[in-house]
Amino acid sequence: MGKKTSLNLKVREIVLGEFLRKNLSVDKIVMFGSHARGRQGPESDIDLIIVSRDFRGKKLIEKVELASGLNWQLVHQTKKPFDLLYYSDLEWRKGSSLIITAAKREGKVIYG
């Protein structure tokens, strides 16, 4: 198993474990940006979008509060920096922001 596949599996395991512990659903996990393109540098962070139907109708701060502790777990267990974005399943499906569009085009779905 390659380094990248191993990292993807580890990230998926951490996100699913944390959300399960909090009784939150995970519909999709998408890695995007330099890591998804395979062009990361030694200081590159890992950009993740986490899609959950439990984020429906929630403001950004509420989503962050629901997922509190996830970023720490990811950094602690992988020793890499992360940038996390949270969307409901409806926001992801209907979304047309630059980030969602780019993630749909070039992102790597690691769950869902």
Burial of 95 (0-12, 13-18, 19+ CB in 10 A): middle
Output DSSP code: residue 27.
-
Interval 16-59: pLDDT, tens: 999 999 999 999 999 999 999 989 888 899 999 999 999 999 99
Between CA 59 and CA 14 the distance in angstroms is 24
Between CA 38 and CA 99 the distance in angstroms is 18
pLDDT band at 1 (very low <50, low <70, confident <90, very high): low
Between CA 60 and CA 70 the distance in angstroms is 15
**What is the chain's mean pLDDT, rounded?**
94
Domains of the chain (ranges plus CATH)?
A: 3-111 (3.30.460.10)
pLDDT of residue 81: 96
Residue 75 has pLDDT above 70, yes or no: yes
Residue tagged 């890992």 (tokens): 46
pLDDT of residue 28: 98
